[in-house]
Structure 1
């Protein structure tokens, strides 16, 4: 039973770091590092570096930057676009590090799954934020950002302390992702069409008048 629990905990942590990295990489690193440093968790050898004071300081600094950027309409979308290049490979690397010193095939498999989960959670976050930004008020951004931070911190705590519950919730998240992501993509396409129509509408009067000029006679 102890072996089963330890394997389940390792799987939950491996999947958890990939999932959390796609939402807020710096919050995930800071949470794991502080939990290890303060004695609330025992991380695998590959993730113990997160408890180094230098890593904690860097993750804390970047988390504060993201905390502000993530709550500013428009800036959050640009930040998410930029971090497509950061969150996905980081999720893969953290997942691979979580499995520790194992066969290369297992490490590669963990990296693939971790990177895939990071890509899924990142896509859901970035797409949802882009739609939220069509609303002029800032409160929905703040609510979404704080909810994401709480989800990352709470999810990693569950992965370390209640892995079975975390895995059940992760399955529910994947089901939500499969259902919600196509709808978000359709919503983004609709917003893009409205924006394109707006600019076409603004440019058409000038184009019509220019087209009528050659037909005019003195």
Structure 2
């Protein structure tokens, strides 16, 4: 059976929480639940490092604005992790070239990372921290559930991951539009308030410079 569905799902999950993906695959392989996991992901040092980094992300991901900083740092890390995991899975299975698997895993991870980061930026506009905690827990549980499901039902899990990715992209686009409208209306209200103040004058914008010299 082709490893492509598993690569796609692992890429999607890596864009959300790469350390959880490495940890889960490593544990599943080490415990004998699946033969699809290469030995390099089952090494003790890899599992320990993934577990420590997962705990760090579990904390940072639930703190407003810290989560966005963490996401910025992982803009490169998550796609690379998705590509590496995809290539390793393909190398273990042999049904897909490792380069192609790496491209699929990395690009999918990049897209899901942008969905995660964009959603978090929108959520951070809310003053209360509970939405961050709830969203982070949902992401952690979702990644764990989908990756576990993918080990036993890779095609069905890939379909779910694709649907979640498309839905996430649509939500991010919608939220971006709403945020732009909010800031535009806020700017207009500030300008109207300024104009109503005594002695206020409309702001005059300088005409664009056409580059010509006047003598």
Fold conserved between structures, TM > 0.5: yes
Name the SS for the 2:33 alignment partner: coil
| TM-aligned CA distance change 1:192 to 1:120, over 3 Å | farther
Cα RMSD between the aligned structures? 3.0
1:6-155 mapped onto 2 (5 Å cutoff): 6-7=1-2, 10-45=3-38, 48-100=39-91, 106-155=97-146
How high is the TM-score relative to the length of structure 2? 0.79
Q: How far has the Cα of 1:139 moved from its partner?
A: 1.1
How high is the TM-score relative to the length of structure 1? 0.78
Instruction: Note the alpha carbon deviations across 1:121-174, whole angstroms, 9 max, x for none.
Output: 111111111111111111111111111111111111111101232122123123
| TM-aligned CA distance change 1:110 to 1:187, over 3 Å | farther
| TM-aligned CA distance change 1:197 to 1:91, over 3 Å | farther
1:180-199 mapped onto 2 (5 Å cutoff): 180-190=171-181
Instruction: Note the alpha carbon deviations across 1:173-215, whole angstroms, 9 max, x for none.
Output: 23313422321332454566589889999xxx9xx8xxxxxxx
Q: How far has the Cα of 1:120 moved from its partner?
A: 1.1
Name the SS for the 1:83 alignment partner: helix
Q: Does 1:158 align with 2:121?
A: no
Instruction: Note the alpha carbon deviations across 1:29-50, whole angstroms, 9 max, x for none.
Output: 11111111122222343xx211
Unaligned runs of 5+ in 2: 201-215
Q: How far has the Cα of 1:94 moved from its partner?
A: 1.4
| TM-aligned CA distance change 1:26 to 1:193, over 3 Å | farther
Q: Is the 8 A contact 1:91 1:115 kept in 2?
A: yes
Residue from 144, 158, 161 that aligns with 1:170: 161
Unaligned runs of 5+ in 1: 1-5, 209-218
How far apart, CA to CA, are the structure 2 residues paired with 1:102 and 1:42?
A: 9
Name the SS for the 1:99 alignment partner: helix
Instruction: Note the alpha carbon deviations across 1:5-32, whole angstroms, 9 max, x for none.
Output: x22xx12221122111100011111111
How far apart, CA to CA, are the structure 2 residues paired with 1:89 and 1:200?
A: 45
Q: Is the 8 A contact 1:44 1:99 kept in 2?
A: no
Worse overlay, 162-171 or 94-103: 94-103
